[in-house]
Structure 1
Amino acid sequence: MSSLVLAQHVTKWYGPRRAVSDVSFAIGQGEIVGLLGPNGSGKSTIFRMLTGYLVPTSGRMEVAGHDVVADSLAVRRVISYVPEDAPLYDHMRVGEFLHFMASLKGSRGAAAKAAVEAAAERLDLTCVMSLLTAKLSRGFRQRVSIAQALLGNPKVLVLDEPTSGLDPHQVIAVRDLIQSLAGSHTVLIASHILSEIEKVASRVMILLDGTLLTADALQERAEETLLRLAAAASEATVRDIVSAVAGVRDVTVEPSAASGTMHYLIRAEPRVAVAADVVAALVEAGVGVSELAEVRPDLERIFLDLTRRASRMAA
């Protein structure tokens, strides 16, 4: 798959502070990709560089083969951006605003009218087209912002925290819309809410302190086996026995309320026999095992695991 969006060794400094550090990734046509990270991790900075609002300090970014710095106008013709606090012209009515945005994107006359009507219907805005944007609720303002972004049929749609401040019904509506765009548009979503990203994205990139920890966190699930173990022995004993089993990568202690029994999380290679080998090693050493179960890692666990490993390496 050829890359529609490309970042190569991108770094951004704000004076003495480095906001983004040597970030590289590639995104193909039709993907829905989530950029996940805590507030202040550099997500918005990456989106602002990608859409031409900021210039990278070093490195290169491309959209549809166009360099975002050297050919920024060509990039803006194929990309649409919805910032977290989506700005609207409060003195305009919704319909007026959408027609104005359509004209900026090159649509005129009947073509503009058809595009606005289609976007309004898709975002359920027909009931507010005559209202001033200043009078809209947070949810409707967000929908109007996404509607204007869809005008001009962009190849790439960039959404920064698209469900921020929305009620549960509005969150579901925006999520359904994003999922409906898969294939026909490439969508990049930034969020610090793990559950929302996991529900809509086909691929998740994780950013921490400006550093990209992984370009495909969901693939982590296929690349290792995760086991939860409860064993009645000292932590040092269990660690030594389990760590010596072929294929085991890491053993961490989990909090437990049961006295005398320690709980562990074991990361291992995706090998069928690894669980049986762990049990056999413990039993042979005379250690009682009360639980050994395979755990399907969710995005939250993958995120915590990656960030903990990054913190240990930094230390």
Structure 2
Amino acid sequence: MAVVTLQGLSKRYGAHLAVDNVSFEVGQREILGLLGPNGSGKTTILRILTGYLRPSTGTVHVAGFDVVREGRAARGRIGYVPEDAPLYPHMRVNEFLAFMGRLRGFDGDTLQASLARARQRLGLEDVGEMIIGRLSRGYRQRVSLAQAVLHEPDLLVLDEPTNGLDPRQIIEFRELVRGLAQQCTIVVTSHILGEIERIADRAAILLKGRLLAVRDLKGPAFVRVRARSEMAPRVAAVLATADKAASAIDEPLADGIASWRVPVFGPGDRDKIVANLGAAGLGVVEIAQGRSDLEETFLTLTSEEALR
């Protein structure tokens, strides 16, 4: 069951189309990374998802609730940590979390149990009486996460959560997020491709408001096809029809074998390539799966899109 569903989502500011017909789903306990340069629509999508903005067209559902028609119910199932986390630096950690819990409608034993659970999950037991403004950047980010999971949301939304953290804090934060993903779905944005690759199950790549691809970060990233060089033109023509993947011929090998590497973005893409080659009556020497890093995929997709 999908926790998040975007269908035909668009957002227009006057003549500017910030988000252009974006559709994808995020499953239970899945971490999805939103990637794209500045102005690609990442933050706009997050603001629509969390109810801060209304879409121009399309629908968004969280835990089965429409974020526009059933906004209150949808927001009650979301935890949100914006890029500049809204903390009160003069308050103590326990004081701030209790305040946020009461805003969520908790009191009495329910509030105390919620606070204890959040402090334990985020490693805040030893800093509960410290003033927030005196905490390190890493611990302030933990407090932000704690307030976002007090109500045990179905969806946790993180906007550029590692900004300003040092390398050790980034590693610690990564482990915290992985732990939280055992109990909720997470959508996270970051400019750091390596962080998304390390933490997310899939990455949605955006450019100029359009969704270029959703790539599985756990499975294969490309399919390598090898065939006899005399068959190269026919094989290349079939591979060029692959969805979202213009095939590139590698240098022919010494034994007269031509080679292609075709990006794939989901578990069914390899089967489609095999089926297309079979339907064209083409036999190949080898079809193998492999991985390329997310940076390579991102640059390839955005470069191809920029040329259109």
Question: Helix, strand or coil for the counterpart of 1:91?
Answer: coil
What is the letter of the counterpart of residue 301 of structure 1? Answer: E
CA distance 1:253–1:17, shift in 2 (3 Å): farther
For 2:248, the equivalent position in structure 1 comes to: 251
For 1:310, the equivalent position in structure 2 comes to: 305
Extract unaligned runs of 5+ from structure 1.
Answer: 228-237, 255-263, 279-292
CA positional deviation for 1:184: 1.7
What is the letter of the counterpart of residue 153 of structure 2? Answer: P
Q: Is the 8 A contact 1:10 1:21 kept in 2?
A: yes
What is the letter of the counterpart of residue 3 of structure 1? Answer: A
The superposition leaves residues 114-136 of structure 1 with CA deviations (integer Å, 9 ceiling, x where unpaired) of 22122122222223222222222
For 2:130, the equivalent position in structure 1 comes to: 131
Question: Helix, strand or coil for the counterpart of 1:199?
Answer: helix
Q: How far apart, CA to CA, are the structure 1 residues paired with 2:187 and 2:166?
A: 22
Question: Helix, strand or coil for the counterpart of 1:121?
Answer: helix
For 1:91, the equivalent position in structure 2 comes to: 90
For 2:266, the equivalent position in structure 1 comes to: none
Q: Is the 8 A contact 1:157 1:186 kept in 2?
A: yes
What is the letter of the counterpart of residue 248 of structure 2? Answer: V
CA distance 1:274–1:79, shift in 2 (3 Å): farther
Q: How far apart, CA to CA, are the structure 2 residues paired with 1:101 and 1:219?
A: 36
For 1:260, the equivalent position in structure 2 comes to: none
CA positional deviation for 1:77: 0.9
Question: Helix, strand or coil for the counterpart of 2:187?
Answer: strand
Question: Helix, strand or coil for the counterpart of 1:198?
Answer: helix
CA positional deviation for 1:58: 1.2
The superposition leaves residues 69-126 of structure 1 with CA deviations (integer Å, 9 ceiling, x where unpaired) of 1111101111111001111122321110001111111221122122212212222222
Q: How far apart, CA to CA, are the structure 1 residues paired with 2:13 and 2:78?
A: 25
Aligned: 1:298 with 2:293? yes
Of structures 1 and 2, the larger Rg is shown by 1
TM-score normalised by length of structure 2? 0.80
CA distance 1:220–1:135, shift in 2 (3 Å): same
Q: How far apart, CA to CA, are the structure 2 residues paired with 1:73 and 1:8?
A: 20
Q: Is the 8 A contact 1:5 1:28 kept in 2?
A: yes
Q: How does 1:19-168 map to 2 (within 5 A)?
A: 19-168=18-167
Question: Helix, strand or coil for the counterpart of 1:92?
Answer: coil
Question: Helix, strand or coil for the counterpart of 2:217?
Answer: helix
CA positional deviation for 1:28: 1.6
Q: How far apart, CA to CA, are the structure 2 residues paired with 1:248 and 1:155?
A: 40
Q: Is the 8 A contact 1:33 1:203 kept in 2?
A: yes
The superposition leaves residues 247-273 of structure 1 with CA deviations (integer Å, 9 ceiling, x where unpaired) of 65422789xxxxxxxxx9942476699
CA positional deviation for 1:159: 0.6
Q: How far apart, CA to CA, are the structure 2 residues paired with 1:275 and 1:302?
A: 25
Extract unaligned runs of 5+ from structure 2.
Answer: 241-246, 252-257, 263-269
Q: Is the 8 A contact 1:243 1:251 kept in 2?
A: no
Question: Helix, strand or coil for the counterpart of 1:216?
Answer: strand
Question: Helix, strand or coil for the counterpart of 1:80?
Answer: strand
RMSD between aligned alpha carbons? 2.9
CA positional deviation for 1:188: 0.7
CA positional deviation for 1:57: 1.2
Percent of matched pairs sharing the same residue: 47
Aligned: 1:267 with 2:261? yes
TM-score normalised by length of structure 1? 0.78
Q: Is the 8 A contact 2:40 2:207 kept in 1?
A: yes
Question: Helix, strand or coil for the counterpart of 2:76?
Answer: helix
CA positional deviation for 1:217: 4.7
Q: Is the 8 A contact 2:221 2:290 kept in 1?
A: no
For 2:171, the equivalent position in structure 1 comes to: 172
CA positional deviation for 1:64: 1.3
Q: Is the 8 A contact 1:61 1:67 kept in 2?
A: yes
Aligned residues: 278
CA positional deviation for 1:204: 1.2
Question: Helix, strand or coil for the counterpart of 2:89?
Answer: coil
For 1:218, the equivalent position in structure 2 comes to: 217
Question: Helix, strand or coil for the counterpart of 2:58?
Answer: strand
For 2:244, the equivalent position in structure 1 comes to: none
Q: How far apart, CA to CA, are the structure 1 residues paired with 2:207 and 2:219?
A: 17
Q: How far apart, CA to CA, are the structure 2 residues paired with 1:39 and 1:265?
A: 36
Q: How does 1:177-196 map to 2 (within 5 A)?
A: 177-196=176-195
Q: Is the 8 A contact 2:222 2:261 kept in 1?
A: no
